[in-house]
Structure 1
Amino acid sequence: MIDVDDLLSLVRNYNPKCNEALLRGAYAYADRMHEGQTRASGEPYFTHPVAVAAILTEQRLDDATIATALLHDTIEDTKGTYSEVEKLFGHDVAELVDGVTKLTNLELSSRETKQAENFRKLFMAMSKDLRVILVKLADRLHNMRTIRHMRQDKQAQKAHETMDIYAPLAGRMGMQWMRDELEDLAFSVLNPDARKSIMRRFVVLQKESGDVIPKITDDIEAVMEKHGVTGQVFGRAKKPFSIWRKMQQKEMAFSRLSDIYGFRVITDTEDDCYRVLGAIHQRWRSVPGRFKDYISQPKTNGYRSIHTTVSGRDGKRVEVQIRTRQMHEVAESGVAAHWSYKDGVRAVNPFAVDPAKWLASLSERFEMAEDHDEFLEHVKMEMYADQVFCFTPKGDVVKLPKGATPLDFAYAIHTRIGHSCVGAKVDGIRVPLWTRLKNGQSVEIITAEGQSPQATWIDIVATGRAKAAIRRLLREEDRGRYIRLGQELARVAFEHVGKKATEKALKTAARTMSLPDGDELLARIGATEISAREVVATLYPELVRARDEEEGVKRAVIGLPGGAEVNRAQCCQPVPGERIVGVPYKGRGPILHAIDCPALADLDAMADDWIDVHWTEGRHAAVHNVTINITMSNDKGVLGRICTLIGEQNANISDLHFIDRKPDFFRLLVDIEVRDAEHLFAVMMAVEADSDVATLERFRDLDRRP
């Protein structure tokens, strides 16, 4: 464990004028408060807050933030109180510690609505003082570094939270190094076999071609020397998760990936950055579409750099980032650079972003969200987005996420422009509305009076703002029809547990789910934004749970290890009557796959670990969810009639999702609950026999595999 003198030495390296009394006092107080407490590893608990403080010294943060790191668990986990911390260390530190405590107490659930509410609270806490989230990120980083000492289920939960929330948040704040490490640590928990496989392939690659990083570094330095530019060159292999993500996105094997190495050039001036760029492009061939100039168009978190990819030594693709030293400091610290110190004074970096302005720009897109789901969609879109910069005909810049279309561009200008859009010109040429925009393109939106959004637009747009605006208008236009459909779905779901969907019950459920009234709840059910089963579970969780247990859901399979629950793979959704196999997944227990599931081909290497299981004989409960894909006529009453047909076969509809809506047909996915394969066949036969059903098939999707 780092002692107080070593910690003070780390702080003095960048802040010789630090408040030594404050830091010594915080260290001593936290040590005393945590006395006797231990971590899962058996180490004294106090090793954790000290490690968090040390991580923050790498960001050269101010004394109050370092003191907060030492004290961040005292209010939550010890007999320490807010008033005592305020009395000993001042109001500023006490507020920061209280903010971190409140963030820690947020239960980050996997349920979307809860997660959205937590995001909202998280942003509220950030808006008060951004240093709160800096301490929380460092706290999560140290916990992930020591995660191997936790229970398996706890490891999986923390890793999912890290991958979904903390890693992208670190990236959005400009702390890319932290995002990379958090993602890789979570990856090692969630998919250890894939990570080990990539590491092994790296070793093989190095044996075959040698360590290419020093060679390419020498090549770049030689080019810079030839053109009279001074600077430093750093090279590295990309993180295993970054490589894995690229393999998944491009659907490539490791052997076909070429740009697995990254290099960074740090220069003295901005002019030198462009001189280095010219020298590199003159020496090696640039890869089309892989050039980004974040110096002339900085990211909102202050990030500035030039990115280019070239075909370097032996034809290997090499990614090069070029920036000045000041730009590099902001690239390493992101928004945290606002508080960094150098030689005892606050570092004045012209590229550091004012946290208040950054938060205002981040929150601007979220203000229009009407409910939790829309807010969460905005947040995720903003966090994960790589930006594209396009121009209006007048030359104004519009920032959009990668993959955005002319429709997104229209909605980014104004919701009214988006609603009335009938076409677009990109660089003067008429293009389809689903065209993906590229950096630097000029976009002209063509509008017409009387035009209104199509339902298929939701699948075309990429931004949360556009999706939310389209959904709102469609919901208003189709509200009456959605309410009627929602009433029927709610009636069936409530009867499933012996209850009635009364007006009072629906109002209570709406209030619980933060919706204005029962009609809005029914409209959401009818529009498939909320499932009727979820509404029932909100009001009667015990009834839903009891019914499942009474009907033997947990005893439906023979051969599972003791205590293991029935967990069906969503890629194939096996039901009683079909042959199944149990596949163990680290941290999740065995998952049941149908014996003919295509996903098993990718798991062949684990075949020795598969478990021989089979369904129990006799009648099963109608609780096994299966998705069917239906294409039907877009005529009045057809959808209601199909729902009735399914109900007549004693199968419950748990969810509906429209894939495509055209003037003449619907295509939708329907989740139904059946007893077994025979029951599923009967439902499908009854639906397929309807004259307005064009096609019907069981939906199986490898994207849903565990």
Structure 2
Amino acid sequence: RAEAQAESFRKMMMAMIEDIRVILVKLADRLHNMETLDAMPREKQARIARETLEIYAPIADRLGMNRIKSELEDLGFENLYPWRHRTIAEHISEVTGDRQEVIESIRKALKKKMNEAGVPCTIMGREKTPYSIYKKMLSKDLTFSEVTDVYGFRIVTHSEPHCYMALGAVHALYQPKPGRFKDYIALPKANGYQSLHTILNSPFGLPVEIQIRTEEMDEMAEKGAAAHWSYKSGENPTGSAQVRAREWLMQLVDVQRHTGDSMEFLDGAKSDLFPDEIFVFTPKGKIIDLRRHSTALDFAYAIHTDVGNHTRAILVNNVKVPLSTRLENGQTVEVVTDPEVLPKPEWLEFVGTAKARTAIRHYIKSLEQEDTVALGLRMLERALNTRGSSVEAIPQEQFDQFLKDNQLKKQEDLYSDLALGNVLANVVAAKLAPDAVTSPGVKPQAEALTIAGSEGSAVGFGACCHPVPGDPIMGFVSAGKGVVVHRQECRNTREFRKHPDRCLDVAWAPITHSMFKVALRILARNSPGVLANISASIGEAGSNIEKVEQPETNPETATLLFTISVDDRDHMARVMRRLRRNRNVIKVNRINA
């Protein structure tokens, strides 16, 4: 069900990219559904309400459609948590009634000050919705009274200069709270929202929240991207909610292009539906807006995917910082690129934006695909060699017919299936070269498949025996997993030999390009600091510790199981010699499967 819903979401978002009216209709339809949710079973009510709060309300917010967002949130909250909604709504009603006199007094004082300053405007009180109060109570761990102990007003005026005049007037009326002013006119939110926000100290002992905006900004704040349809052609303001919505949709196109499935697309889109933002600058002064907690590497990907993919270093305010550094408002960020640098899997552990994650995943998947195809080609070449033929010797027409018969689009698809063990190389070779002839009594010998450790995900190494370069090895083609390399003395080889068509002659390449895991059992004296002491010996021998277990212990001794990484069998022997010289080590041996 989750995958089907994710696919429906993906199709809806892709349709929205073609015509934004698709989502406007969908949001209106969802609002109508939420208003008629009473007739549905409780379980279905909760599921639809949760989906509304997690997806549809954030989309409305991302498009700047504040009015619909608020209605969807309140209805979703009411149906998901009916008791919480009812309790908060009742408290709001009580509080509002008690404060009418104070609210009216502040409104009159604000109106008088605006008249004195010559600012034409409308002033209205702002009511908090039950859901906005609930969110603030949760996120800031506040009580109901702490959240609602604020008076909110909105001043709507004619022009941008009037907004700043109004700001000066309210600051002259009541003392502003330091650090609580935000200028969303100069730096609009990601959804195009524009307004001045300030918090003042009132004479009534409670803070006063003021929003100041133009009539046009107010309409944009309420209707967002939908406000576009109320403008005549050519009158739509640039930099507005529609422009920001279009930019966001183009980012979704990029995410869609690089994601492998609908669930991944949904996760990526969701992460960008909550854009609590920061603003940083390029060295040339261009403003880049990012999600809060974005890293320096996220900034590089925000500039361009190719910039992110080749990021060598990043300077923040002219100081070199790690790629995982979280950025803050107002920083100037410079990216140093290098064509030799390529994305690493560990980058996924700290990037925060959907664009960065999808670009890194796409590169890694494409690299893995190249490795898989190359291995499949080598496997087929080897199988054909045993029949006295080769890939080059197969006529293209014959190859094309084989692909057609097996419903494969191209040769790379066949090689991928071979590497993953979905089809067997000797079976394919027999069909491609059925008439291959050899001299009587002579069995053609194919070279063993060489393993260098650089094949990526196309080749695996048995966790049961942990082979390392220098060990006699064999390969087993496992369906869906591809070639898995085992030591010839592995306990599982007897079972593998029962399937000779899946067994593969493999050999280590003269030069390997990786570190390989090996398992050691160490019997040590049970004394304070022994684990740190043994770990230090392993590190001194140039090995990394992957895993440690302690299955047995008694007052005198402790059995420790270490999984370490080594270059080859010689390196493993050096590590074991270093351990045997450690006075805390009684015995060390390699774990044989």
State the TM bucket, normalised to the shorter chain.
Answer: 0.5 to 0.7
8 Å contact from structure 2 (residues 343, 364) kept in 1? yes
Alignment equivalent of 1:691, drawn from 561, 564, 581: 561
2:205 and 2:309 map into 1 onto residues whose CA distance is 47
Asked if residue 371 in structure 1 is aligned to residue 260 in structure 2, the reply is: yes
Task: Map residues 178-193 of structure 1 onto 2, 5 A cutoff.
Answer: 178-193=68-83
Asked if residue 132 in structure 1 is aligned to residue 2 in structure 2, the reply is: no
Alignment equivalent of 1:147, drawn from 33, 37, 53: 37
Task: Map residues 635-674 of structure 1 onto 2, 5 A cutoff.
Answer: 636-637=516-517
8 Å contact from structure 1 (residues 340, 346) kept in 2? no
Distance 1:208 1:332, change over 3 A: closer
Corresponding letter in the other structure for 1:366: V
- C-alpha displacement of 1:149: 2.5
2:112 and 2:191 map into 1 onto residues whose CA distance is 33
Asked if residue 383 in structure 1 is aligned to residue 383 in structure 2, the reply is: no
Q: Which residue of 2 aligns with 1:157?
A: 47
- C-alpha displacement of 1:272: 0.3
Distance 1:401 1:288, change over 3 A: farther
SS state of the match for residue 233, structure 1? strand
Distance 1:192 1:347, change over 3 A: farther
2:171 and 2:547 map into 1 onto residues whose CA distance is 49
Distance 1:243 1:449, change over 3 A: same
Aligned-pair identity (%) = 40
Distance 1:199 1:361, change over 3 A: closer
Alignment equivalent of 2:133, drawn from 243, 246, 251: 243
- C-alpha displacement of 1:410: 1.3
Alignment equivalent of 1:264, drawn from 154, 165, 171: 154
1:457 and 1:154 map into 2 onto residues whose CA distance is 39
Alignment equivalent of 2:58, drawn from 157, 168, 188: 168
8 Å contact from structure 2 (residues 259, 265) kept in 1? yes
Corresponding letter in the other structure for 1:159: A
1:667 and 1:186 map into 2 onto residues whose CA distance is 46
- C-alpha displacement of 1:285: 4.8
8 Å contact from structure 2 (residues 17, 250) kept in 1? no
Q: Which residue of 1 aligns with 2:124?
A: 234
Q: TM-score, normalization: structure 2?
A: 0.58
Asked if residue 335 in structure 1 is aligned to residue 217 in structure 2, the reply is: no
Gaps in structure 2 of 5+ consecutive residues: 374-405, 408-414, 423-456, 461-478, 481-513, 522-542, 553-557, 565-593
- C-alpha displacement of 1:189: 1.4
8 Å contact from structure 2 (residues 224, 242) kept in 1? no
Q: Which residue of 1 aligns with 2:237?
A: 350
Corresponding letter in the other structure for 2:267: E
Q: Which residue of 2 aligns with 1:467?
A: 357
2:191 and 2:124 map into 1 onto residues whose CA distance is 23
Q: Which residue of 1 aligns with 2:86?
A: 196
Q: Which residue of 2 aligns with 1:220?
A: 110
Q: Which residue of 2 aligns with 1:319?
A: 209
1:242 and 1:292 map into 2 onto residues whose CA distance is 19
Asked if residue 411 in structure 1 is aligned to residue 281 in structure 2, the reply is: no
1:261 and 1:459 map into 2 onto residues whose CA distance is 42
Corresponding letter in the other structure for 2:250: S
Distance 1:137 1:478, change over 3 A: closer
8 Å contact from structure 1 (residues 213, 236) kept in 2? no
Alignment equivalent of 1:308, drawn from 177, 198, 209: 198
Q: Which stretch of structure 1 is more off in the superposition, 181-190 or 362-371? A: 362-371
Distance 1:479 1:136, change over 3 A: closer
Distance 1:684 1:441, change over 3 A: same
- C-alpha displacement of 1:465: 0.8
Per-residue Cα deviation, 1:71-95 (whole angstroms, up to 9, x for no partner)? xxxxxxxxxxxxxxxxxxxxxxxxx
Per-residue Cα deviation, 1:153-207 (whole angstroms, up to 9, x for no partner)? 2211221221122211211222111111101111111122332343354356557
SS state of the match for residue 280, structure 2? strand
Corresponding letter in the other structure for 1:329: E
Distance 1:381 1:233, change over 3 A: same
Q: Which stretch of structure 1 is more off in the superposition, 397-406 or 193-202? A: 193-202
2:204 and 2:39 map into 1 onto residues whose CA distance is 44
Q: Which residue of 1 aligns with 2:168?
A: 278
Asked if residue 392 in structure 1 is aligned to residue 279 in structure 2, the reply is: no
Distance 1:115 1:292, change over 3 A: farther
2:162 and 2:288 map into 1 onto residues whose CA distance is 28
- C-alpha displacement of 1:441: 2.9
1:439 and 1:285 map into 2 onto residues whose CA distance is 25
2:51 and 2:355 map into 1 onto residues whose CA distance is 24
Corresponding letter in the other structure for 1:241: Y
Corresponding letter in the other structure for 2:253: F
Q: TM-score, normalization: structure 1?
A: 0.49
Distance 1:313 1:243, change over 3 A: farther
Corresponding letter in the other structure for 1:369: H
1:371 and 1:175 map into 2 onto residues whose CA distance is 31
- C-alpha displacement of 1:267: 0.4
8 Å contact from structure 2 (residues 151, 208) kept in 1? yes
Corresponding letter in the other structure for 1:691: L
1:521 and 1:164 map into 2 onto residues whose CA distance is 40
- C-alpha displacement of 1:232: 0.9
Rg larger for: 2
Distance 1:392 1:201, change over 3 A: same
Gaps in structure 1 of 5+ consecutive residues: 1-108, 484-506, 509-515, 527-534, 537-633, 642-662, 669-682, 695-706
- C-alpha displacement of 1:689: 7.7
Corresponding letter in the other structure for 2:8: N
SS state of the match for residue 323, structure 1? strand
Per-residue Cα deviation, 1:518-577 (whole angstroms, up to 9, x for no partner)? 6789969x9xxxxxxxx99xxxxxxxxxxxxxxxxxxxxxxxxxxxxxxxxxxxxxxxxx
Task: Map residues 558-573 of structure 1 onto 2, 5 A cutoff.
Answer: none
SS state of the match for residue 444, structure 1? strand
SS state of the match for residue 186, structure 2? coil
